[in-house]
Amino acid sequence: MFSELVVAYLFLGGTGGGACAVCAVLGLLADGGDVRRGLAMRFREGDGWDECGRDGSSGRGGRDELGDARRPAAYRRLFVPALAAALVVLALSMVCLAADLGRFDRVLLLAVSPPSNFLVLGFWALAACSALALTVLLVWQGALPVRFGLLRALNGLLLAAALVTVTYTGLLLATIRAVPLWFGPWLPALFVLSGLSCGLALVMAVAVFSRSAVTFGRVMRGLAWADCACMAVEAVVLTVWLGSVWAAAGGTNALAGAATPTDAAALASVALLVEGSLAPWFWGVLVGGGLALPLVAEVASLARRRFRENGLHAGASPVAASSVDDAPTLIAAACVLAGGAVLRWLVVAAAVQPVVSSMVLAL
């Protein structure tokens, strides 16, 4: 029903919006004293740490927190790469939308149209999210001088725009009554959870590459726990979504035949996913590789970190300890992002519309 460009647009928009939401929440939770000091110094003051995130001491004692007053410049290394990655993803989503529309003037038409439908609302949400993310990035970079209150307000607006961006993609499909698999409240909830999980994965992966994951160890552990919670709830919502579609279509009486063409289309969509031609992608890539594997990897990594914190690996250096967790974090992030992309492709590929006979049309 939709092209691969639309699938990419849905995935990239949700992921970019989720990453912006994560950055906005972290910005709102950041210690006020540190942020004020950083704003005064444009986040360029030397913080006494080397590129590996060590301070030359034991590597313990509060040097891995957003509230560490001794190193406000560390915020730049955390937020700037994460917001830059989110902006790239959002820009790619707009490129996919423009390519699907075929003509650039149609994109301009969306820009000047009132938000009377979800497609226009989504375009405006993407544009607002991108503009706010760029503004906040410039603040953390030190290129845009603002006061602390204004930065908090910008992060609040960014969070709101990001949540709209993450949510509308599901609403865009859920309002299409012609596809019974999409219609209802569970698909938007599934897309929101998937978008937030993909955003968390993107931020954590970027933090590993920028080396800020070492500096902000406890923050990264909090993000990992949040991602685990998102994936667990996402698995539940995925089950409830397909179960509700199957039950509403009279799944318990499927052997007797569907009562209406709409019920038949709904049952056919569910069958495609769980036992038909799309089942290997659904069970193997989405459920196994996109939910189960990263959930196990992140829980195992968190358990290993807790094991070290209890002193059982007291002889390990901070850098060696952090490098042990880089691979599981990156593997989990890659699996989450691949699962998010496959989820949207499966939702579109499994869309079956009711078939109305010519006799009904004649009547």
Q: Count each helix (H run) and each strand (E run) in the chain, helices first.
A: 14, 0
Mean pLDDT of the chain: 83
pLDDT at 252: 62
Contacts of 195 (CB under 8 A, 6+ apart): 14, 15, 17, 18, 166, 169, 340
Torsional class of 159: left (φ above 0), alpha (ψ -120 to 50), beta (otherwise): alpha
- Check residue 111 and give its pLDDT: 65
- Tell me the pLDDT tens digit for each residue of 101-138: 776 666 677 666 666 677 778 888 899 999 999 999 99
Q: Which token pair is 358?
A: 């010519």
**pLDDT higher than 50, residue 54:** no
What are the Cα distances from residue 154, in Å, to 136, 269, 310?
7, 42, 39
205: exposed, middle or buried (C-beta count within 10 Å: 0-12, 13-18, 19+)? buried
Bigger pLDDT: 46 or 262? 262
What is the C-alpha separation between 213 and 216, in angstroms, rounded?
A: 5
Residue 48 has pLDDT above 60, yes or no: no
Q: What total of structural domains would you count in the chain? A: 1
> What is the tens place of the pLDDT at every residue in 270-311?
999 999 999 999 999 999 999 999 999 898 888 877 776 665
Question: What is the domain range of residue 44?
Answer: 4-362
What is the b/e burial string over 50-72, where b = at least 16 CB atoms within 10 angstroms of the residue's CB? eeebbbeeebeeebbbbebeebb
Percent of the chain residues topping a pLDDT of 90: 49
> Which pLDDT value is given to residue 322?
45
Burial class, 188, CB count within 10 angstroms (exposed 0-12 / middle 13-18 / buried 19+): buried
Question: What CATH number is given to the structural domain containing 157?
Answer: 1.20.1630.10
